Amino acid sequence: MTPLDLTVHKPRSVRATILGFYFLPRTVDKLRAELPGGNIGPYLNHDTGFSAFVVRRLGLDMNEFREAVAKAPDEDAIVEWLAARVDASTAPALNAKLETFVVERMSAEDQVLVRERHPVMAAKPELSKILDILEADDEFDWS
């Protein structure tokens, strides 16, 4: 895959799908931004992030996924790699869980992390759903 510069183009929406699963296209974009020549910009990609959460829920190892993205010639190869490892029939249930994931139900410690990592929440305190917070982050004017 070619590297991405996320300072030029945002990653795909949290609700974009691969095999019906939310977050996978966004995760692929962030992994491509980690490749040599890429730029992850203001985006995060760490073990306690939502990309990692989704990847773990699918029973995948993030480092193996990272390696598959790095080696894939194109997105079709990534879809094929994923299709061999995940049950796409579970996508609606996982997506529904993600749609109802709200900050208030997180531990106090995790709420602090979310607020630190997503300062858009200070500008838009009405946001509660994680997917909405991440989408608002993408549209936020950081200047």
pLDDT given at position 142: 55
Beta strands in the chain (DSSP E): 17-18, 21-22
- What CA–CA distances, in Å, run from 47 to 51, 56, 63, 107, 137? 8, 10, 10, 17, 19
Q: Average of pLDDT values for 26-55?
A: 91
Please give the Cα distance from 38 to 3 (Å, whole number). 5
Q: Average of pLDDT values for 57-73?
A: 96
pLDDT given at position 43: 87
pLDDT level of residue 138 (50, 70, 90 thresholds): confident
Could you count the other beta carbons within 10 Å of the beta carbon of residue 87? Answer: 10
- What CA–CA distances, in Å, run from 63 to 24, 74, 81? 14, 18, 14
Q: Average of pLDDT values for 68-85?
A: 98
| Spatial contact of 137 and 127, defined as CB atoms under 8 Å apart | no
Q: Average of pLDDT values for 86-110?
A: 95
Q: Which residues of 52-83 are buried (b: 16+ CB within 10 A; e: fewer)?
A: bbbbebbebebeebbebbeebeeeeebeebbe
pLDDT level of residue 141 (50, 70, 90 thresholds): low
Answer yes or no: is pLDDT of 83 > 70.
Answer: yes
Answer yes or no: is pLDDT of 115 > 70.
Answer: yes
Please give the Cα distance from 55 to 35 (Å, whole number). 18
In the block, tokens 């790095």 appear at 70
